[in-house]
């Protein structure tokens, strides 16, 4: 797929040195590809951890903290 959208980021000296060192230490040949894949991988991970649920976080906590208990009367 052709990439036609450009994003520009600014790094401070420490961040740039970190990127340079990582790319050198791990033989990263294509820095753009590496950074793009790293950002996308992080975003997919966040999406995976924030999927919609039927219950709120508080409701889930209550359900999990009382295993085997029934909230309805027989």
Residue 57 lies in a domain: yes
- Residue 31 · residue 19 · CB < 8 Å: yes
pLDDT the model gives residue 50: 78
pLDDT the model gives residue 49: 82
Provide the domain count of the chain.
Answer: 1
Residue 53 lies in a domain: yes
Residue 17 lies in a domain: no
Q: Which domain holds residue 45?
A: 29-65
pLDDT tens digits for the chain (74 residues)?
899 999 999 999 999 999 999 999 999 999 999 999 999 999 999 988 877 778 888 888 888 886 565 555 54
pTM above 0.85, yes or no: no
- Residue 22 · residue 28 · CB < 8 Å: yes
pLDDT the model gives residue 67: 58
Long-range CB pairs of 23-29, under 8 A, 24+ apart, other chains included = none
Q: What is the DSSP string of 21-69?
A: HHHHHTT-S-HHHHHHHHHHHHHHHHHHHT---SS-HHHHHHHHHSTT-
Residue 54 lies in a domain: yes
Residue 55 lies in a domain: yes
Both tokens assigned to 27: 């033989």
């Amino acid at each position: 797929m052709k990439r036609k959208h450009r994003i520009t980021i600014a790094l401070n000296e420490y961040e740039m040195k970190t990127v340079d060192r990582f790319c050198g230490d791990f033989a990263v040949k294509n820095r753009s590809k590496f950074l793009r894949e790293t950002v996308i991988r992080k975003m997919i991970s966040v999406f995976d951890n924030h999927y919609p649920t039927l219950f709120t976080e508080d409701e889930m906590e209550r359900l999990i903290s009382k295993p085997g208990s029934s909230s309805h009367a027989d």
